[in-house]
Structure 1
Amino acid sequence: MTRFWLTTATAAAMAATLTASGALAQDVTLHFQHFVSPNSANPKYFIEPWAKKVEEDSNGRIKIEISPFMQLGGTAPEQFDLIQDGVIDGGWVIPGYQAGRFPETEALELPFMVPKSAEAASIAAWNYTQKYLMDDFENVHLIAAHMHGRGLVHMKGDAPETVEDLQGKKLRGPSRPATLLLEKLGAVPIGMPVPQFTEALSKNVLDGGVITWEMSPSLKLDELTDSHTDVAGDKSLYNLYFIWAMNKDVYESLPDDLRAVIDANSGLETSAWAGRAHDTGDAEGRAVMAAAGNQLATLSEEETAKVKALGDEVIAEWIADMDGKGLPGAQMVEDARALVKEAEAGHGS
């Protein structure tokens, strides 16, 4: 477990005072990991550039090593605890992979809650996090909170034209709100982390699933599915909430000037950057699916209205569930919607 902490040489360097002026001049190596291909949008357009910027801003005194595919150990659902416990220095987390542990995050994942622009959704996510989630994340150091882009239904065979076309279809869902909606739609939801999706499709365990455009190429959905269906309108069928975080003790052990570098690359603008990465990846992923000759479809306004009505049922039941847990369900939904509206106005959406 301890091998993922700072190296002995690094720790020794951190204890040294090397300049005549007395300023600390430590070199620090931080080990971060994520659970997807390095060629997918968030690693390519956010995680790796973020690490490079931190290194440059620190004049090379911070080095960040990024490991994809959970190469430092553990599974995607364990990522929060790996960071909290110091097994890794930092990483990318989907809190919803641990159903019930961070229930407040689900307000942003509810049907038709956030815009299809991941950047605007991520601005709302950071602001919502400040209001409702900092206590939940008090044992890690939060760098960014963001959403991905529009969530779609990807399936083997023809694109569904009606809600009834989803009846009995075995579809992968990434989170509790998503699986609740799939169930309302008459599908058979199967919850699983994204790394398992490709294998489940290739073995015909699934008829399809919900995920973004940007993840489609790395999951080989151009080969393993035939159709990709969005809902009408400017709101996403579903979405997923993420955090980019580091171990709190490691962060606090940094000298003041290096903590300042991390701080300068954290917060609202960094969260928006993470969202933009997904928007860029969505455009690229959609182009790959189109080039493969797959069917790109959008449900009609009438069918989308049916889906939204079922989504409203999910929201009402979610509020009741949160109330039963002693959480302000209706207030969280109201605040999430208000923050989304504010982000859209500021973003020009």
Structure 2
Amino acid sequence: MTRLATKLAAATALSLAMFAPASAAETLSVVGSWSNLPLHKQFEAPFWGETLPADSNGEIETQLTTHNQMGIGGGDVFRMLGDGVFDVGMTVADYAVGDAPELEGLDVPLLATTPAAAKAMVEAARPMVEEIYENRFNSKVLAIAPYPPQVVFCKGDLSSLSDLAGKKVRGSGRMTTKFLEALGASGVNVAFSEVPGALERGVIDCAVTGSGSGYSAGWWEVSDTLMTIPLGGWDPVVTAINLDRWNALPENLQKLIADDVAQKFEAPAWDAAAGALEGDIACLTGKGECAAGDPASMKLVEPSEADAAEARKILTEVVLPEWAERAGSDWAKRWNDSVGKTVGVAVPLN
């Protein structure tokens, strides 16, 4: 009887193990950046929708949307992330500078003219960015990925940077707007989706955005001249996870997410940025092969040495000192010791 009872107990235990429900997967609600732009289509959606769940062998499931599909403003993404409305959020860092003016130091315009230089700036700024997101938005930074350089689309004919004086220009961030005003232009606040209509109606004369974003959004249909000076920087997109949600994840999933994001999302996005501008220019001007669709026929204006010199003068004498006042001298000093040393520029400190 004892042996029989033992066998029955073992069989029962085995049966229960076989039919017990599998441990529930961790489900992450993910809010991506602009749904109609290449960064989301080519990198965010495939990674969060397919790659990470597959690599987790079913331990992670995701529910993916974007902030514009949700109908929320870019400036609300990281506030809502910190409050735990969703688990993972990503959007342009410049959208959050109203809550964190020190974050402007991540994307100073005109200092990086190549993807390699832009990446070096981001890596130098990253420790500061991670601290800002933890303290301001209760979140952990997972990735910082670039849009293509933020260039200038203008209605009408221009030949140099100085021709922007007197124009009404939609900037892509606060520093860009400050720069435009110092140049003698009027910075106008227009939402990205409203730019084509504003250009068509003459509400603005020019607008700044990423070259690929402008092509995808059809800005070339209502503008004539493309100025490739990186007037708006590179508009880095920060991907972050709510800190409470992160801390609640098992260590093995934390490692999987961190490694996968770095290797299969962030790195490929930077690699793609290396040739993006050349391809975007081909699509916008019709000079070269356009792999993204039908080419446009915008006039291309490349920055001269005089343009670059004037831009840097305004940046160092006006724009960066104003930012130091908003962010505070401690942040400005930290920027000098990190990003500033990387690009060879220093914010004047009192």
Partner of 1:5: none
Q: Which of the two has higher C-alpha Rg?
A: 2
Contact preservation (8 Å) 2:150, 2:172: no
3-state SS of paired residue (2:330): coil
**Aligned twin of 1:252:** 247
Higher helix fraction: Structure 1 or Structure 2? 2
Q: Please state whether the residue corresponding to 1:114 is helix, strand or coil.
A: coil
Corresponding residue number in structure 2 for 1:295: 299
* Pair 1:276–1:194, CA change in 2 (3 A): farther
Report the AA paired with residue 151 of structure 2.
L
Distance 2:183 2:263 in 1: 35
Task: Quote the Cα distance in structure 2 between the aligned partners of 1:332 and 1:207.
Answer: 33
C-alpha distance in structure 2 between counterparts of 1:114 and 1:303, whole Å: 15
Report what 1:134 is aligned to: 130
For residue 319 of structure 1, report the CA deviation from its aligned partner. 5.7
Shift of 1:263: 1.8
Of 202, 210, 225, the residue aligned with 2:223 is 225
Report if the CA contact (8 A) 2:53-2:61 is conserved. Answer: yes
The answer to whether structure 1 residue 43 and structure 2 residue 40 are counterparts is yes
Range 291-300 or range 191-200, more displaced? 191-200
- Please name the residue that 2:207 is paired with: 209
User: Do 2:32 and 2:44's aligned partners in 1 also have CA atoms closer than 8 Å?
Assistant: no
Question: For residue 218 of structure 1, what is the amino acid of its counterpart?
Answer: S
Counterpart of 1:68, as a letter, is T
User: How do 1:1-349 and structure 2 match up within 5 A?
Assistant: 25-38=23-36, 40-51=37-48, 52-68=50-66, 70-117=68-115, 120-130=117-127, 132-138=128-134, 139-158=138-157, 160-231=158-229, 236-239=230-233, 240-267=235-262, 270-279=265-274, 281-290=276-285, 291-318=295-322, 320-321=324-325, 325-339=328-342
> Offset of 1:102 from its aligned partner?
2.1
Alpha-carbon shift at residue 244 of structure 1 (Å): 0.5
| Stretches of structure 1 lacking an aligned partner (at least 5 in a row) | 1-17, 342-349
Once residues 257 and 172 of structure 1 are traced to their aligned partners in structure 2, the CA distance between those partners, rounded to angstroms, is 45
Kindly, what percent of the aligned residue pairs are identical? Answer: 25
Q: Check conservation: 2:145, 2:236, Cα contact below 8 A.
A: yes
Q: Does the C-alpha gap of structure 1 residues 195 and 24 become closer, same or farther in structure 2, counting only changes over 3 Å?
A: farther
Q: 1:149 to 1:340 in 2, by over 3 A?
A: farther
1:321 to partner: Cα distance: 1.3
Q: How many residues align?
A: 314
Output the CA distance in 2 between the equivalents of 1:331 and 1:245.
Answer: 22
Q: Which has the higher contact order (CA 8 A, sep 6+)?
A: 1
CA contact (8 A) 1:125 1:147 kept: no
Change (3 A) 1:65 1:148: same
Provide the alpha-carbon RMSD of the alignment: 2.9
1:113-133: CA deviations, max 9, x gaps? Answer: 22421x552353144221x23
Per-residue CA deviation, residues 262-292 of structure 1 (Å, 9 max, x unaligned), is 1212458854433334445434432221221
TM-score normalised according to structure 1 size: 0.79
Q: TM-score, normalised by structure 2?
A: 0.79
C-alpha displacement of 1:144: 0.7
In the TM superposition, what is the alpha-carbon distance from 1:104 to its structure 2 partner?
2.6
2:103–2:132: 8 Å Cα contact kept in structure 1? Answer: no
Residue aligned with 2:204, SS: coil
Cα shift at 1:223 = 0.5
